[in-house]
Chains A and B, each alone.
Chain A
Amino acid sequence: MALSRDFFRALEDIVGKRNVSEDPAVTENYRCITAQSSAHYGPVNTRTPKPLAVVLPGSTEEVQQVVRLCNKYKVEFKAATTFWAAMGFIGSDNAIQIDLIRMQGIEIDEKNMIAVVDPFAIGGTVQVEAMKRGLNCNVAGVGCSSSTLAGTAGWVGFGPSSIFMGIASENLLGAEWVLPDGEILRTGTLGAEGEWFCGEGPGPSTRGMLRGWMGTAGTMGVCTRIAIRLHPWPGPKWIPVRGTAPLYMADGLDNVRAYTVCLPDWEAYAKLFQLFYEADICYLAHRQFNMFGRDIKTAMVEIFTHPELQFRDIPRLVEDPYLKEQNAQMKVDVQIVMAGFSDRDLDYKEKAFDAILAKVGAHKSEYYLQQDIEDFVKLYLLRLARKNYNYTLCSSYEGNFGLHPNVWKAAPFMEEAAALKLKWEQEHTGIAAVGGDSDMGSVSGIGGGGTTGWEFFVHFDAFDQESIKNADAHIEDTQRWMFEKGLGVDFGRWNADCRKNSGYSYTQDEHDAMYSKLPQPGIATYQYKIREAFNPNRLGGSYYKTMTPPECK
Chain B
Amino acid sequence: MATKDSLVTIFGKANVLDDPAVLAAYAKSHSFDPGFKPWYVVKPKDSEQVEKLVKWANKTKTPLVPVSSTGVKLRGDSVPSVPEAVVVDMSGMNKVLNVNRQQRMAVVEPGVTYDQLNKELAKQKMTIPGSLKAKAGQSVLTDVVEAVPRLNPMIQWNFFDPLRCAEITWGDGQRMFTGEAAGGPRDLEKQWNNQTWQVLYMGPWMTDYFRFVTQAQGTMGIATWVSLKTAVKPLVHQLFVAEADDLAALESFVYKAMWTRFPDEIFILNRAQAANVMGKTVEEIEMLKEVLPPWIVAVGVAGREIVPEVRFEARSKDLIDIAQANGLDLKEGISNLSGRALYEEVSGTDKGKTYWKDVYAGSHQNVFFLTQLDKTGMFLKAVREIAEDLGYPTEDIGVYIQPKHLGSSYHMEFTFPYDPDSAKQEGRVQDLVDAVSVAVSDLGGYFSRPYGKWAGIQLNKDAQSASALKKLREIFDPADIMNPGKLPI
Contacts and interface: CB of A to CB of B under 8 A. Distances in A.
Given A229-B406, A344-B314, A355-B307, A405 B174 contact: no
A173 B158 CA distance: 10
B157 A170 contact: yes
| Contact residues on A (Cβ < 8 Å of other chain), bracket | 35 or more
Contacts of B311: 348, 352
A255 B207 CA distance: 40
A212 B181 CA distance: 13
B475 A533 contact: yes
A134 B448 contact: no
B93 interface: no
A111 B465 contact: no
B408 interface: yes
B312 to A, nearest CB: 9
Given A229-B406, A523-B205, A344 B450 contact: no
A205 interface: yes
A527 interface: yes
20 contacts: A112-B372, A183-B464, A192-B462, A201-B449, A202-B450, A204-B469, A208-B212, A212-B202, A214-B205, A278-B304, A341-B260, A344-B317, A351-B310, A352-B306, A352-B311, A404-B195, A519-B183, A519-B185, A520-B185, A520-B186
Nearest to A219: B206
A170 B219 CA distance: 25
B379 interface: no
Interface string B42-85: 00000000000000000000000000000000000000000000
B356 interface: no
Contacts of A534: 468, 471
Interface stretch (A384-392, A444-452, A460-468): A444-452
B408 A208 contact: no
Contacts of B262: 341, 345
B209 interface: yes
B283 interface: no
B204 A213 contact: yes
A30 to B, nearest CB: 23
Interface in B247-282: 255, 259-262
Given A112-B374, A183-B464, A186-B462, A229 B261 contact: no
Interface stretch (B130-138, B420-428, B453-461): B453-461
Contact of A170 (B158, B321, B409, B471): B158
Nearest to B181: A520
Contact of A519 (B186, B200, B306, B446): B186
B216 interface: yes
B306 A206 contact: no
A193 B208 CA distance: 24
A469 interface: no
A523 B465 contact: no
Given A191-B462, A352-B307, A450-B103, A342 B176 contact: no
B444 interface: yes
A138 to B, nearest CB: 10
Contacts of B194: 409, 486
Contacts of A351: 307, 310
Interface string A512-553: 000000011011101101100110000000001100000000
Contacts of B186: 519-520
B461 A193 contact: yes
A198 B207 contact: no
A12 interface: no
Interface in A176-217: 179, 183-189, 191-195, 197-209, 211-217
B208 A208 contact: yes
B206 A545 contact: yes
Instruction: Give 7 closest A-B pairs by Cβ, nearest first.
Output: A447-B157, A213-B203, A208-B211, A212-B203, A191-B462, A344-B314, A201-B448
A253 interface: no
Contacts of B176: 520, 522-523
Contacts of B468: 179, 185, 206, 209, 534
Given A193-B461, A278-B232, A278-B304, A113 B408 contact: yes
B224 interface: no
A342 to B, nearest CB: 5
Nearest to A173: B408
A367 interface: no
A77 B306 CA distance: 52
Contacts of B344: none
B336 interface: no
B211 A527 contact: no
Contacts of B147: 200
Interface in B362-399: 370, 372-374
A538 to B, nearest CB: 15
B199 A451 contact: yes
Given A214-B203, A520-B176, A205 B260 contact: no
Contacts of B331: none
Contacts of B211: 200, 204-205, 207-208
Interface in A277-315: 277-279
Nearest to A109: B372
Nearest to A190: B462
Nearest to B190: A519
Contacts of B289: none
Interface string B139-182: 00000000100000001011110000000001000101101101
Given A112-B372, A229-B406, A409-B195, A193 B446 contact: yes
Contacts of B213: 204
Contact of B214 (A134, A204, A215, A277): A204
Contacts of B179: 213
Interface string B339-362: 000000000000000000000000
A545 to B, nearest CB: 6
B33 interface: no
A406 B184 CA distance: 14
Nearest to A529: B475
Nearest to A134: B259
Most chain A beta-carbon contacts within 10 A, residue among B103, B183, B209, B446: B446
B215 interface: yes
A279 B205 contact: no
Given A185-B465, A192-B462, A202 B215 contact: yes
Given A186-B462, A191-B462, A341-B260, A212 B314 contact: no
Given A203-B216, A208-B212, A352-B310, 8 more contacts: A113-B407, A200-B159, A278-B306, A341-B262, A406-B197, A408-B102, A523-B182, A526-B207
A119 interface: no
Contacts of B25: none
